[in-house]
Structure 1
Amino acid sequence: MNSKELVQLIARACDDKRAEDIVALDMQDVSLMADYFLVCHGSNERQVQAIARGIKDTMNESDVQIKRMEGFEQARWILVDLDDIVCHIFHKDERHYYNLERLWGDASRVDLYVNENG
């Protein structure tokens, strides 16, 4: 599975847990740290954790290794590092504060094939 297919799979896992405003940014021409950033948010800490668990479960089912997961206990900003893809799962308040989409405004958005809730 290539990075573009994987980002779609991760977006669907987020959507299954009712993540809001799911955005994927193509970072290949902008940064060396990852091919894609996937950004989404939940409305409370429990939902943010559920989204992260959903990604973890989906990756386990697909035999994709998660390199690292940070911020799970506080559930205000969970970072899931999948090497070529970095997922940023925010609490709604933190997402608006950090505004990664604007920070990485040079990155183009990737069309995602999910049923958007937000």
Structure 2
Amino acid sequence: MNSKQKIQQVAQACDDKQAKDIVALDMGDVSLVADYFLICHGNNERQVQAIARAIKETMEEMDVTIKRMEGFDQARWILVDLEDIVCHVFHKEERDYYNLERLWGDATKMDLNLESSENDYEL
């Protein structure tokens, strides 16, 4: 499975848990940290944890190793490191404060074709 297929699966897992404003950034030309960033948020700590857990479970089902997961207990900003993809699952307040999309504004936003039409995606 390549990185583009993987990020699509991760985004769908987030969408299934009703994550808000799911954004995927192609980091290839702007950072050596990862090929892609996936950024989304939940409205409360419980939802943030559910989204991160869904990412973990989806990737484990596909035999993708989770390199590291940080911030799960506090559930304000959970980072899920899939090596080539770094997922940032924020609480809404933290997402507004850190504004990673602006920080990494040079990165190209990917088009995510998610099954749900309930969310308003910023692509």
Normalising to structure 1: TM-score of the pair? Answer: 0.98
After superposition, what is the alpha-carbon deviation per residue over 1:93-117, rounded to whole angstroms, capped at 9, x for unaligned?
0000000000000000000011252
Tell whether 2:17 aligns with 1:17. Answer: yes
Alpha-carbon separation, structure 2, partners of 1:71 and 1:90: 10
After superposition, what is the alpha-carbon deviation per residue over 1:18-72, rounded to whole angstroms, capped at 9, x for unaligned?
0000000000000001000000000000000000010011011111000000000
Task: Name 1:43's counterpart in structure 2.
Answer: 43
Q: Could you list the runs of 5+ residues in structure 2 that have no partner in the other structure?
A: none
- Give how far 1:76 is off: 0.1
- Where 1:63 maps in the other structure, the secondary structure is coil
Q: Percent identity?
A: 75
After superposition, what is the alpha-carbon deviation per residue over 1:61-91, rounded to whole angstroms, capped at 9, x for unaligned?
1110000000000000000000000000000
Misfit runs of 4+, over 3 Å: none
Task: Name 2:89's counterpart in structure 1.
Answer: 89
Alpha-carbon separation, structure 2, partners of 1:113 and 1:86: 19
Q: Could you list the runs of 5+ residues in structure 1 that have no partner in the other structure?
A: none
Q: What number of residue pairs does the alignment pair up? A: 118
